[in-house]
Structure 1
């Protein structure tokens, strides 16, 4: 077993990096199995569950099995960390570096890349706040309030996160800060629609992304990780609602009754240029806050605009918002697969940024908050949010599936031409080429690959 100690450590570091930078369970499992097979380990089992990464190797009757369990908490998308990890994996699979060199590169990444500066983080969140306020039809003065409130919320959240407080308290602090800053801004500017400022400044922390990831993991058969992501979405929203509720209670002691703290949203979006501009700012801001740089920012902002424009165009043709969401997600999901290789990001990572303007996180938050304050129609809003989440997940996954299957067919033809007589499998390929790792796989959850002597099955 000592011969493979470095490989096991490399596997654990890659798995940790992928999960903590926002990779799906399927993508993580597939990548680790690819590394194992490339290193000569053909009996490795990988399991991604709620907060755990389990790597096992059953080597045969004469050798003891090896199992290691790692505590790993899924986090948000980190573009730079994810890109560097994918690059390291590609270099290992194409035999440019050894496992020891890969370990050194990943340890350097973990100590530097995912610690974004507060300046970049605040800039991204500020653009996010302005963008979401434009999507939901804010005036310029309300958009200014969303910008200021977003910056303050970002500072408080970063400080509480730096203090290593539990997630519930981080989100509660963000919600409380959003309400107080929006209230003070409204008193200084005579703006009454505090709700738009609050929800826009909290857009980066809403549960839309976690809910989407949970739905997608469920659709593709990864039920345990889906449950973990669902719990993360619930805790996130519960923390925000708690902080906002306390903030509203405190603010109402000092402000007039005409201030609007709760405003329910629906699935309808007015067809105008504001949602397009808002989508560009949202995707750009999110990409910046997630570590995107240079040309990546322009491409990711363009994908957000494309998703929003496609949705508005389809809606304008007479389809219902839910059908338009599913069809737009299908188109954009397929396009993200095509963009994955040139951008050196998995299609799920690109989809996360692209779909952010369409995520129903605001509706989930407003539905839960409205239910707490007995606002009429709040449960209906929450139901709409869950339906939109399903439409986004099902549509995006279908788009990925259709395009990836087409690309797998092309790879199969290429493989058979280069390796006549060998069996091709999209779960694990004899050619250890990173372009196969970055393509999504929609098979039932797989854990290991066994050699049949003539390829992989």
Structure 2
């Protein structure tokens, strides 16, 4: 261990906190390099892959190299954890807190931040079911079924996750439960419910849209290892769900007649305005609740979800193609997310994940794969539509972030030139170590090393 042991411990704790709360490889790398530079370390290299964090210093004590490797399980978005970590980072970069204080805060954070309370988690899942059923134009009975199925699926998934079952089995069980609950509810409800909508709505939160979007965006940014990992995660998620749904349909087929349509191509409701907007708002609210959002964060994220879907409907009515409308909506929302990132203490990608959820093509990916297995007409076309939608969302969101962040970086460059004439401005490592710099996206291929000035 070198004389900089506290700094290395801080980097490890920060990396663990960021990755487990859902931060991207780019965000984690950029943050750790900034903290290293602020601590006076040079020659530090940071490498983030799916499940592993590597921190190296080629100039340790007596000029000996120093490397530590940490196994860290990638997590999903945890809003409160992420927000508190961002505040600690801000304190470090503005030198309001010391390394020792930051370590103490991070250790307290790790032990005090527990998973979202089961009541809020189940409520959020129920709202997700209601929201997606409204986006699909479901009636009142089907909406009630989607709510009940979503809550039960979430409860079972949470229990199996606590039991540490492999991910593919958790998703498979969720698929089985969704089909069985939808079937039973249809049989006991007076007017019947749309089984296909009930199943899709209850599973929408577990579909591959978010992971597929992240994989494409990482590829665009040049983070290919993370992209491959996220893509495999998306494939395993979908494979588990499809396996569970197929098994559930096989079991349910013993007890119901052929009139039950478990599988059919579902499209979002576009002939109305109020119901889809309300559905999009509930989807974002429900997802934010399951991720631990509170108070003003919930309000802003809910508004962003409704705004994103409203922009999509508006651009489609302007005559743009569906893919053009998705891309333009993603650009506008991406720009807004960059501006909201600092006041919300969340990176723009985290905000976009919630705002884009009503637009994610996970439902189409699921329908395409499941339809292909059961030889449903139009399944291949649906899968192709999902891939194009994912591409448009990723490229549009990244372009929106890029445009606004470059404008803000230009303003920071001008400010830096006035305060430190003759010195070099670097977007990756600004000498002033202001937190407003570190929270802005940097659009470049992976960078990994702090260099001397």
Between the aligned partners of 1:127 and 1:192, the Cα distance in structure 2 is 18
Q: CA deviation at 1:74?
A: 2.1
Is the CA contact 1:34–1:432 (under 8 Å) kept in the aligned structure 2?
yes
**2: CA distance, partners of 1:75 / 1:267:** 29
| Structure 2 unpaired stretches of 5+ | none
Alignment deviations for residues 417-442 of structure 1 (CA, whole Å, 9 cap, x no partner): 11112111001010111111110000
Q: Which residue matches 2:293?
A: 292
Per-residue Cα deviation, 1:229-264 (whole angstroms, up to 9, x for no partner): 000001111111111111111111011211110121
- Secondary structure of the equivalent of 1:133? helix
Q: Any idea what SS the aligned residue of 1:2 has?
A: coil
- Map of 1:384 onto structure 2: 385
Are the counterparts in 1 of residues 56 and 67 from structure 2 also a CA contact under 8 Å? yes
Cα pair distance change 1:74/1:44, threshold 3 Å: same
| Corresponding residue of 2:18 | 18
Structure 1 counterpart SS, 2:431 = coil
Aligned to 1:455: none
Corresponding residue SS for 2:22: coil
Write the mapping of 1:124-139 to structure 2, written as runs, cut at 5 A.
Answer: 124-139=124-139
* Corresponding residue number in structure 2 for 1:365: 366
Match of 1:117 in 2: 117
Q: Answer whether contact 1:267 1:321 (CA < 8 A) is retained.
A: no
Alignment-derived partner of residue 443 in structure 1: 444
Q: Separation in 1 of the partners of 2:82 and 2:17?
A: 7
- The corresponding residue for 1:279 is 280
SS for the counterpart of 1:54 is strand
Sort the Cα spacing of 1:212 and 1:128 in 2 relative to 1 into closer, same or farther, 3 A.
Answer: same
* Inter-partner Cα distance in structure 2 for 1:264 and 1:158: 29
Q: How does 1:199-278 map to 2 (within 5 A)?
A: 199-266=200-267, 269-278=270-279
- What SS is found at the alignment partner of 2:70? strand
Matched residue SS, 1:59: coil
Rounded to whole Å, the distance in 1 between the matches of 2:267 and 2:42 is 51
**TM-score with structure 1 length normalisation?**
0.97
Deviation at 1:17, TM superposition (A): 1.3
Instruction: Provide the secondary structure at the position in 2 that maps to 1:291.
Output: coil
Q: Is the 8 A contact 2:60 2:66 kept in 1?
A: no
What displacement does 1:150 show? Answer: 0.5
Counterpart of 2:330 in structure 1 is 329
Write the mapping of 1:57-206 to structure 2, written as runs, cut at 5 A: 57-59=57-59, 62-189=62-189, 190-206=191-207
1:143-200 CA distance string (max 9 Å, x none): 0000000110011000000001111111111111111111100001142520100110
Deviation at residue 134 of structure 1 after TM alignment = 0.3
Q: 1:28 corresponds to which residue?
A: 28
Of stretches 48-57 and 118-127 in structure 1, the one that deviates more from structure 2 is: 48-57
Instruction: Give 1:102 shift.
Output: 1.4
Question: 1:2: how far off?
Answer: 3.0
Corresponding position: 1:315 with 2:316: yes
User: Aligned-pair distance for 1:291?
Assistant: 0.4
Partner of 1:403: 404
Query: 2: distance between equivalents of 1:17 and 1:114?
Result: 13
The residue matched to 2:164 in structure 1 has which SS? Answer: coil
Residue range with higher mean Cα deviation, 11-20 or 284-293: 11-20
- In 2, the alpha carbon distance for the partners of 1:54 and 1:268 equals 46
**Kept after mapping to 2: 8 A contact 1:218/1:226:** yes
SS across alignment from 2:55: strand
C-alpha RMSD over aligned residues: 1.3
Q: Distance in 2 between matches of 1:293 and 1:314?
A: 31
| Cα distance, 1:75–1:270 mapped onto 2, change above 3 Å | farther
1:373-411 C-alpha deviation (Å, 9 max, x unpaired): 111111111111011000000000000000000000001
- Equivalent residue of 1:439, what SS? coil
| Residue equivalent to 2:42 | 42
Query: Which moves more between the two structures, 348-357 or 186-195?
Result: 186-195
Shift of 1:63: 1.8
1:303 and 2:304 are equivalent in the alignment = yes
Q: C-alpha separation between the residues in 2 aligned to 1:395 and 1:19?
A: 25
Q: Deviations over 1:245-301 (max 9, x none)?
A: 111111110112111101213577434221100000000000011000001100000
**In structure 2, what is the Cα distance between the partners aligned to 1:328 and 1:91?**
34
Q: How many Å separate the matches in 2 of 1:157 and 1:297?
A: 24
For 2:387 and 2:425, locate their aligned partners in 1 and report how far apart those are by CA, in whole Å: 39
Residue 429 (str. 1) matches residue 430 (str. 2): yes
Instruction: Report if the CA contact (8 A) 1:329-1:399 is conserved.
Output: yes
TM-score by length of 2: 0.97
CA contact (8 A) 2:57 2:66 kept: yes
Q: Deviations over 1:68-114 (max 9, x none)?
A: 11122322111001001111111111112222221221122222324
Unaligned runs of 5+ in 1: 453-457
Aligned residue in 1 for 2:357: 356
Please state how far the C-alpha of 1:447 moved relative to its aligned partner: 0.8
